[in-house]
Amino acid sequence: MQKTKANSENLWSLDVKNINQKTFDLSVKNPGKGGEVVLRKPGEILEKMKNLDEESAVAMANIFKFIK
């Protein structure tokens, strides 16, 4: 890491002593963010997908009007 860059919410460093010596896991885990991920319910996700599909269909219909 550059010596002129300070750690922040989006930029952080990890001391080599804190790396698991068996796995050498370097996966991205931002210590500045909360550890809990809020997951949506499957029904909510499907409803959002349905709404987006409907919006896309309207947009596509409008595009086809212009190219015909």
- pLDDT grade for 7, boundaries at 50, 70 and 90: confident
Is this prediction's pTM over 0.75? no
12 has a pLDDT exceeding 90: no
31 has a pLDDT exceeding 70: no
Instruction: Kindly report the average pLDDT of the chain as a whole number.
Output: 83
Does residue 62 lie within any of the structural domains?
yes
Q: What is the pLDDT of residue 37?
A: 73
Q: What is the pLDDT of residue 40?
A: 93
Find the domain containing 42 and state its range.
37-68
Please name which of 12, 54, 17 lies closest in space to residue 33, comparing C-alpha atoms.
Answer: 12
Does residue 66 lie within any of the structural domains?
yes
Does residue 13 lie within any of the structural domains?
no
Does residue 9 lie within any of the structural domains?
no
For the chain, the domain total comes to 1
Does residue 43 lie within any of the structural domains?
yes
Element (H, E) at 62: helix 42-67
Distance in angstroms between the alpha carbons of the first and the last residue of the chain:
56
